[in-house]
């Protein structure tokens, strides 16, 4: 992990960036979501444009965190029944969509 991506510490997120992404998603920014067993999953496409266009607090991020959002094609987030959140960042659209389709298909 790059040094500029700050760990969250003990808690429901792995990094400060993950907590930031989660907060933005709570504002209705996820495009689709699904349930898998006892977990919730959501997808946000478009990388930084999702956040830059809708969230003025990007200046709270380190340069490395900002760059992670800038270069990603999107994210898939999961939250388990205990409230722990995992955020996966995808560098290309094809990988993002492949993983999402597999998750949704497993949901049925």
The per-residue pLDDT for 92 is 94
- What single string gives the DSSP state of each residue in the chain? --TTS-B--SSS-SBHHHHHHHHHIIIII-SEEEEETTEEEEEEESTHHHHHTT-GGGGGS-HHHHHHHHH-SEEEEEE-TT--EEEEEESSHHHHHHHHHHHHHHH-
Spell out, as residue ranges, where the chain has pLDDT lower than 50. Answer: none
- Output the pTM of the full model: 0.86
Residue 65 token pair: 């965190």
- CA separation for the pair 89, 76 (Å, rounded): 7
Contact 22, 85 (CB under 8 A): yes
The per-residue pLDDT for 80 is 95
């Amino acid at each position: 992990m790059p040094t500029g991506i700050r760990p969250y510490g003990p808690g429901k997120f792995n990094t400060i960036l993950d907590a930031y992404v989660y907060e933005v998603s709570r504002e209705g920014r996820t495009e689709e979501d699904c349930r898998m067993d006892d977990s919730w999953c959501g997808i946000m496409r478009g990388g930084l444009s999702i956040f830059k266009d809708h969230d003025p607090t990007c200046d709270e991020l380190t340069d490395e965190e900002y760059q992670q959002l800038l270069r990603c094609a999107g994210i898939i987030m999961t939250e388990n029944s205990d409230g722990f959140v995992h955020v996966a960042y995808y560098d290309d659209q094809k990988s993002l969509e492949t993983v999402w389709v597999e998750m949704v298909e497993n949901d049925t």
